[in-house]
Amino acid sequence: MKLQLALDLVNIQEAKEVVKEVQEYIDIVEIGTPVVINEGLLAVKEIKEAFPNLDVLADLKIMDAGAYEVMKASEAGADIITVLGATDDSTIRGAVEESRKHGKKILVDMINVKNLEERAREVDALGVDYICVHTGYDLQAEGENSFEQLRVIKNVVKNAKTAIAGGIKLATLPEVIEASPDLVIVGGGITGQADKRAAAAEIKRLISAR
């Protein structure tokens, strides 16, 4: 089980400072969608250059032009790029094909996918690397989470690795770990804590104990 730190509400300089603080406890750094919107793929490039030993995920949430956008993110240094499960198969196929040319990985974000079981099977058959259940900020604010969705995809996904994101904190981590995802994605559960390093260390400790 790997730990991904999601950075959403920071600029490039702040992102570097947070990663520096917690780098020994994380496997993947996510350059979140808001950061890419604010700073562009330069954020991916700068973080990869500053932390070459960590994998960098570009959370582009690609909905169209799969191959082109994966190509640009790959050139910027991303190791993993996100595509939305709600898009059509041709976009996901294009993203996967392009990622293979660059030796990169595709994580499909199932945010707001209604027919989760059926779509997870279809996406899995497209050869993606990760399938991720995700409760976004807006639904988190309404008290939702993705714990049950994780159990659903664990039952049907046979090839891809599974991941979960959205409001995961130390208090809810045991329930997540119980379902054994391959990747746990934590943003505010680390970046929103007074002692980020201690939070990351404790999350890593619990994940590694499995």
The C-alpha atoms of residue 73 and residue 151 are separated, in whole angstroms, by 31
Q: Is 106 within 8 Å of 83 (Cβ atoms)? A: yes
Does residue number 188 form part of the binding site for ligand LJD2ZHX5 (CB under 6 A)?
yes
- Site for ligand LJD2ZHX5 (CB under 6 A): which residue of 83, 186, 199, 207? 186
| Binding segment toward ligand LJD2ZHX5, per CB under 6 A, in 85-93, 97-105, 162-170, 174-182 | 162-170
Number of residues counted as binding ligand LJD2ZHX5 (CB under 6 A): 18
CB of 101 to ligand LJD2ZHX5, least distance (A): 26
User: Looking at beta carbons only, is 57 or 157 nearer to ligand LJD2ZHX5?
Assistant: 57
- Site for ligand LJD2ZHX5 (CB under 6 A): which residue of 79, 189, 199, 200? 189
The C-alpha atoms of residue 94 and residue 69 are separated, in whole angstroms, by 10
Helix/strand/coil (H/E/C) assignment for every residue in 6-71: EECCCCHHHHHHHHHHHHHHCCEEEECHHHHHHHCCHHHHHHHHHCCCCEEEEEEEECCCHHHHHH
CB of 192 to ligand LJD2ZHX5, least distance (A): 7
| Binding segment toward ligand LJD2ZHX5, per CB under 6 A, in 94-102, 121-129, 148-156, 165-173 | 165-173
Backbone angles phi, psi at 131, to 5 degrees: -120, 125
| CB-facing half-sphere around the CA of 100: CA atoms within 13 A | 9
Amino acid present at 83? V
Does residue number 181 form part of the binding site for ligand LJD2ZHX5 (CB under 6 A)?
no
Q: Tokens 């191959």 correspond to what residue?
A: 67
The residues binding ligand LJD2ZHX5 (CB under 6 A) are 6, 8, 30, 32-34, 59, 136-137, 165-168, 185-189
